[in-house]
Amino acid sequence: MNRETLKILLVDDNDVENILIKKLLQGNWQCYNYIIQSAKSLSDAIKALNEQTFSLVLLDVMLADSEGVETVQSINHIHPDIPIIVLTSDDDEQAALLMIQNGASDCLLKESLTANHLHRSIAYSIERKKSQTSLRKNNSVVNSIFNAAPVGIAFVRNRFIYRMNNRILEMCGYCEKDFLGKTLLMMYQNIAEYNRVGYELYEKHNCVETKWRRKEGGLIDVLIYAAPLTANDPESGNIITVCDITKMKRSQEEILKRHKETQRYFDASGLMILVLDKDIKVQEINNKGCEILGYDENEIINKDWCSMFVPQKFRQRAIDVLTGIIEGKIEINEYIENPILTKAGESRLIAWHNVALYDEARHIIKIVSIGEDITDRKKVEDELKQAYKELQQKNMELQVRLDQITQDRQVVA
């Protein structure tokens, strides 16, 4: 079996004990082969650690240039990812515990040390340090995300805050001491809203929109999400994220206002205004269009224009033309007269003015058509043309009779 090779730094200023430790590490061990390098002082140890890569440090804390827990602290501070096993002649449990608390992975008594005990301690210390390093790095990533996130993040338990990032403080205008150990009740306009948000977050949807009151008194719109820190363990607390959506809300309100104004202009125009998407389905229509077609708006939106609102006789031609326009194969006609089919089954003639809307790649994505119902006008025009034609015929007949009378008079004379 291939065994991993470990490079160990043995830090001990006692030559005899150095030899004994090295002998304990000799021989076959199922996990590792050892390469051992010695240092007799803390300064030599730090120099070696700075210049070379080691898997582990075996450390006697009583050195000429450092004693006790400060020796562990010095190495752990500079190289926190290297496991340290303290070798001591002092059978003091409190002192050993202090070493562990300050970065040592284990603390072994030299007088009772065996090869098997030392081998196991090395193996366990290395694996433990790997886990600690991984956890520390993960925590570092989490902390970086926590502090750099563009949204507010807070840890809460029973709605009491015990940690938050700066983004929440910026949103609210408060200091950290104003929040820690307190609830967010002061952020709400009243206790009823505070209770409603709590119910929505923790009992119902895990998401709620509300308003918070800033320290200076102004209101902001916020969207709050909540999730348990530990699944199926509500007692562990929750993490909440808070987004300031004030600007978005104001933008939405402005867009809605402009849309309503535009709709009023559409409805006041007296003309039928129709928007078709690239699938030739109705995307928008104004009140005049609904009135002419005889449908409610919800019966028209998203319906196929040609199959529902174009008479059968003209349907295929309309499909071919509109599809060709969308695909860029046919040039759009700015003015055209085409019939439509109303809900009552009546055909109405519409004079259309058409405009194409393009995306950034100059592909047609919508067709906007403004139509005037000219059915009655056309009927009157046709009637006038027919009357004019009949009048011309009558005039011709009259002229023929007059010519005949003139000829008859000439014969008599």
What is the number of residues in the chain?
Answer: 413
Q: Classify residue 38: in a domain, yes or no.
A: yes
Structure-token match 């125009």, residue found: 269
- Count of domains observed in the chain: 3
Q: What is the pLDDT of residue 141?
A: 84
Say yes or no: 77 and 174 in one domain.
no
Q: What is the pLDDT of residue 36?
A: 92
Alpha carbon 301 to chain centroid, angstroms: 30
Q: What is the pLDDT of residue 270?
A: 78
Report the C-alpha gap between 322 and 326 in whole angstroms.
Answer: 6
Output the domain CATH number for residue 97. 3.40.50.2300
- The last residue of one of the domains, among 128, 145, 162, is 145
Q: Under a CB-based contact definition with an 8 Å cutoff, are residues 371 and 351 in contact?
A: yes
- The last residue of one of the domains, among 145, 180, 198, is 145
Burial of 277 (0-12, 13-18, 19+ CB in 10 A): middle
Both tokens of 219, joined, read 């209101």
- Helix 42-51 / helix 69-78 crossing angle, nearest 10 deg: 20
Report the C-alpha gap between 41 and 307 in whole angstroms.
Answer: 92
Q: Classify residue 199: in a domain, yes or no.
A: yes
Q: Which domain holds residue 157?
A: 149-244
Q: Under a CB-based contact definition with an 8 Å cutoff, are residues 50 and 72 in contact?
A: no
Whether the model pTM is above 0.75: no
Say yes or no: 66 and 141 in one domain.
yes
CA distances from 10 to 15, 223, 225 (A): 11, 57, 53
Q: Under a CB-based contact definition with an 8 Å cutoff, are residues 84 and 76 in contact?
A: yes
Say yes or no: 53 and 114 in one domain.
yes
- The last residue of one of the domains, among 145, 178, 200, is 145
Both tokens of 359, joined, read 């995306």
**Contacts of residue 209, Cβ cutoff 8 Å, sequence gap at least 6:** 221, 222, 223, 224, 245
Q: Classify residue 231: in a domain, yes or no.
A: yes
Q: Classify residue 398: in a domain, yes or no.
A: no
Report the C-alpha gap between 343 and 291 in whole angstroms.
Answer: 10
Say yes or no: 14 and 135 in one domain.
yes
Q: Classify residue 62: in a domain, yes or no.
A: yes
Say yes or no: 109 and 162 in one domain.
no
Q: What is the pLDDT of residue 301?
A: 94
Say yes or no: 294 and 220 in one domain.
no
Q: Classify residue 60: in a domain, yes or no.
A: yes
Alpha carbon 299 to chain centroid, angstroms: 34
Say yes or no: 160 and 101 in one domain.
no
Say yes or no: 228 and 284 in one domain.
no
Q: Which amino acid would we find at residue 312?
A: Q
Say yes or no: 118 and 164 in one domain.
no
Report the C-alpha gap between 338 and 352 in whole angstroms.
Answer: 7
Q: Classify residue 389: in a domain, yes or no.
A: no
Structure-token match 């015990």, residue found: 162
HEC-encoded secondary structure of the chain: CCCEEEEEEEECCCHHHHHHHHHHCCCCCCCEEEEEEEECCHHHHHHHHHHCCCCEEEEECEECCEECHHHHHHHHHHCCCCCEEEEECCCCHHHHHHHHHCCCCEEEEHHHCCHHHHHHHHHHHHHHHHHHHHHHHHHHHHHHHHHHCCCEEEEEECCEEEEECHHHHHHHCCCHHHHCCCCCHHHCCCHHHHHHHHHHHHHHCCEEEEEEECCCCCEEEEEEEEEECCCCCHHHCEEEEEEECHHHHHHHHHHHHHHHHHHHHHHHCCCEEEEEECCCEEEEECHHHHHHHCCCHHHHCCCEHHHHHCCHHHHHHHHHHHHHHHCCCCCCCCEEEEEEECCCCCEEEEEEEEEEEECCCCCEEEEEEEEEECHHHHHHHHHHHHHHHHHHHHHHHHHHHHHHHHHHHHHHC
Say yes or no: 49 and 140 in one domain.
yes
Say yes or no: 140 and 156 in one domain.
no
Say yes or no: 29 and 137 in one domain.
yes
Per-residue pLDDT of the chain (413 residues; tens, 9 = 90+): 567 889 999 999 998 998 999 888 886 566 788 899 999 999 999 999 999 999 999 999 999 999 999 999 999 999 999 999 999 988 888 999 999 999 999 999 988 888 889 999 999 999 999 888 888 888 888 888 888 888 999 988 888 888 889 998 999 898 888 887 888 888 999 999 999 999 998 888 889 999 999 999 999 999 999 988 887 777 788 899 999 999 998 888 888 888 777 767 666 667 899 999 999 999 999 889 999 999 999 999 999 999 999 999 999 988 988 888 888 888 877 788 889 999 999 999 999 888 888 888 888 899 989 899 988 888 888 888 888 888 888 888 888 888 787 777 777 65
Output the domain CATH number for residue 169. 3.30.450.20
Q: Classify residue 403: in a domain, yes or no.
A: no
**Contacts of residue 201, Cβ cutoff 8 Å, sequence gap at least 6:** 207, 208, 224, 226, 238, 240
